[in-house]
Amino acid sequence: MTFFVRTAGPNDLSAISDLLGETWHDTYDGIYGPAKVSEITASWHSVEALRPRLTRPQSEFIVADDGARLGGMAFAASSDPEKKLVLLHQLYVHPDCQRQGIGRDLLAEIVDAFPDASRLRLEVEAANETAVGFYRAHGFAEVGRTDNCGAAGSGIPAVVYEKRLDT
């Protein structure tokens, strides 16, 4: 199937929540354990948690859709008044759809959505070797570390990666 990248809408939220739950369990059960992953996905990836992203200013919320299902999603936003720094909060591709170019296409659309940005930053769990390899292959370099990935007080350590966009 061919996936097309498009803006996420209200009717996508349940499918996005399901995609995130399945992808997180596939990726993180071996790192954090299924119970912790279920706790995180219930909090961070519920329809209610995702809904405000549809109308957040200075953001891009997109999905990869083949007409029958969603194969991936991404969300990025800038809180920088000059819009020079964009934070890639999420880029996930369903395990069954990985290595088909969906992640590459989602990332390209995020970059295109912020033409004035000079840097794209993200946080990734160091043990998520697939994601680390993907981001490094797409020009990201490690710039730091955090003890609270995703949310203040999460207690989830992560590596901070950044890519220059204005070169």
**DSSP assignment string, 100-153:** SSHHHHHHHHHHHH-TT-SEEEEEE-TT-HHHHHHHHHTT-EEEEEESS-SSTT
For the chain, give the percent of residues with pLDDT over 90. 70
Instruction: Dump pLDDT digits (tens) for 75-112.
Output: 999 977 776 999 999 999 999 999 999 999 999 999 99
* 167: pLDDT strictly greater than 70: no
pLDDT, tens digit (0-9, with 9 covering 90-100), for 3-24: 999 999 999 999 999 999 999 9
Mean pLDDT of 44-56: 94
The closest of 146, 124, 144 to 134, measured between CA atoms, is: 124
Mean pLDDT, residues 126-135: 90
